[in-house]
Amino acid sequence: MKARIHVMLKNGVLDPQGEAVHHALGSMGFDGVQGVRQGKVIELDLDDSATEAQVGEMCEKLLANTVIESYQIEMI
């Protein structure tokens, strides 16, 4: 079993990497992009006994900074 965790900065938190990508895309002629938010994807290989609640605990304790980041768990 796998878990895929999508971690993104919360709305209202400045995203300098996203702004840099947005600026670079505009410089390359991609004018239709109105905004960019950059995040990360973490994929865990788990044994069959793992639960989504356990993955959530991993996110809360280590994988996401819940003060400024939100996360979404996808069990696959």
CB-count burial class (<10 Å; 0-12, 13-18, 19+) for 43: exposed
Q: Is 19 helix (H, G, I), strand (E, B) or coil?
A: helix
Mind listing the pLDDT tens digit for each residue in 49-60? Answer: 999 999 999 999
The DSSP bridge partners found for residue 46 are none
Q: What is the model's pTM?
A: 0.88
Q: Which domain holds residue 61?
A: 2-75
The DSSP bridge partners found for residue 40 are 7
Mind listing the pLDDT tens digit for each residue in 7-37? Answer: 999 999 999 999 999 999 999 999 999 999 9
Total tally of structural domains belonging to the chain: 1
Residue 36 contacts residue 21 (beta carbons within 8 Å): yes
Give the CATH number of the domain where residue 22 resides: 3.30.1280.10
Residue 19 contacts residue 37 (beta carbons within 8 Å): no
